[in-house]
Amino acid sequence: MENSVSLKEIRANEKIRILIDSANQVLERIGYTEHGTRHVGYVSRAAASILERLGYPQRTVELAAIAGWIHDVGNAINRKNHGMTGALLMLPVLQEIGMRMDEIAPILSAIGNHEEETGVPVSEISAALIIADKSDANRTRVRKGKYDPYDIHDRVNYAIKKNWIEVNAAKKMIRFGIQMDSTSSVMEFMQIYLTRMRMCEKAAAFLGCSFEIVINDTAINNQSPRIVETTENQSDVIM
């Protein structure tokens, strides 16, 4: 496609890098987990992989990756409504880089709809971004040297030794799995993540898929919890 701006160009852009770093610094100062290049890198890769495994066009996949990389820049201004703020921040930057407006628009709507307080899945890019963002729960999100055992967010994230997304295109199923230790509990995980997981269910439904949450090998969001057996040939593991 002519005049297509690549993910590589977005990642190399100095203004975007500064916004990502500034957003992460702001959140560190108010006590939030890591939201820097590790987080946005994960979200970028996961959002792209979800759509790729569901068979979407390659450019749509790349736009999801771009949305994932820049989705949290609004935190550089304020945590509240950072999705909508970030979308507004990115409009002139993406225009300056030379991205076409018909590609900017779906990226902005995805960024503006990734917060659970106000967001809803409005496109395939938006849906993939939601699932990718909300699935980044892992002990690597706890800031180095700043683990607080009295902070539920630190406890929950530190307890998660492994997290992954599986996509089974044939069965139209997206599975989010985690392995937790006793540092925290499933109850505490759901205390933080319930609204986020509900949002993921809606996002998966937008993509024509079911969404399954598996914690320590047990599915927890169906009517009859069961032990989940997975094999490599059932689905594609993203992370």
pLDDT-based confidence at 237, cuts 50/70/90?
Answer: low
- Mark 153-163 as b/e (b = at least 16 C-beta within 10 Å): bbbbbbbbeeb
Per-residue confidence (pLDDT) for residue 211, from 0 to 100: 96
pLDDT-based confidence at 225, cuts 50/70/90?
Answer: very low
Six token digits for residue 208: 């024509």
With a cut of 90, say whether residue 227 has pLDDT above it.
Answer: no
In the block, residue with structure tokens 């880089």: 97
Q: Which residues pair with 215 in a beta bridge?
A: 178, 218
Among 2-16, 40-54, 164-178, whose mean pLDDT is lowest? 2-16
The predicted-structure confidence for 29-53, as pLDDT tens digits, reads as follows 999 999 999 999 999 999 999 999 9
Q: Return the domain boundaries, the chain.
A: 7-237
Six token digits for residue 144: 């180095």
- Mark 180-190 as b/e (b = at least 16 C-beta within 10 Å): beebbebebbb
Average pLDDT, the chain: 92
Beta strands, E only, the chain: 160-168, 173-180, 210-215, 218-219, 236-237
Q: How many CB atoms lie within 10 A of CB 133?
A: 27
Per-residue confidence (pLDDT) for residue 222, from 0 to 100: 72
pTM of the predicted model, to two decimals?
0.91
With a cut of 50, say whether residue 234 has pLDDT above it.
Answer: no
Per-residue confidence (pLDDT) for residue 221, from 0 to 100: 87
pLDDT-based confidence at 236, cuts 50/70/90?
Answer: low
Higher local confidence (pLDDT), 160 or 145: 160
The predicted-structure confidence for 86-129, as pLDDT tens digits, reads as follows 999 999 999 999 999 999 999 999 999 999 889 999 999 999 99
HEC secondary structure over 38-54: HHHHHHHHHHHHHHHHC
Q: How many CB atoms lie within 10 A of CB 220?
A: 15
Q: In CATH, what number does 7-237 get? A: 1.10.3210
Tell which residue, 239, 194, 203, 188, has the closest CA to residue 221: 194
| DSSP category for residue 178 | E
| DSSP category for residue 6 | P
